[in-house]
Amino acid sequence: MNPLSPLYFIKQNKVRCIVLMFMIFLSFGAYLGGLYIYTPQENWEYACEIDDNIVEVYQLSGDSKAANYKAFREEMKKRDDVIVIEEGWYNEIDRKTVMGFTDGSLCYTFRTVDDFKLFCEHNDIECDFSNVKPKTVILSRLMADSKGYKVGSVISHDDEDNNFEYDLTVAALTEEHGYTQYYIGQDGETNNDMLLLGKGISAEEVRRYAAEIAQKYPVNFAQSLREEIDELFSIFNTIFMVVVVFLAIILSVTVNAAFVGMYQRREFEFAVYRAIGIPKKSIILKIVGEIVLMDVIVLAVGGALFFLGLYLFNELVLIPDGLYLVYSAPIAIIALVLCNVMTVVPLIITRSRILLRANVCDY
Higher pLDDT, 156 or 202: 202
In the prediction, which pLDDT does 64 show? 60
Question: What residue type is 297 in one-letter code?
Answer: I
Residue 241 has pLDDT above 90, yes or no: yes
What span, in angstroms and rounded, lies between the C-alpha atoms of 67 and 75?
Answer: 12
pLDDT averaged over every residue in the chain: 87
Binned at pLDDT 50, 70 and 90, residue 85 comes out as: very high
Highest mean pLDDT among 10-19, 182-191, 221-230: 221-230
Condensed to tens digits (0 to 9), the pLDDT of residues 129-166 reads: 999 999 999 999 999 999 999 999 998 877 766 667 78
Span 24-29, mean pLDDT? Answer: 89
In the prediction, which pLDDT does 353 show? 77
Residue 363 has pLDDT above 60, yes or no: no
Asked which of 34-38, 159-163, 254-258 is least confident by mean pLDDT, the reply is: 159-163
- The pTM for the full model equals 0.82
Span 256-271, mean pLDDT? Answer: 73
Span 269-285, mean pLDDT? Answer: 77
In the prediction, which pLDDT does 58 show? 87
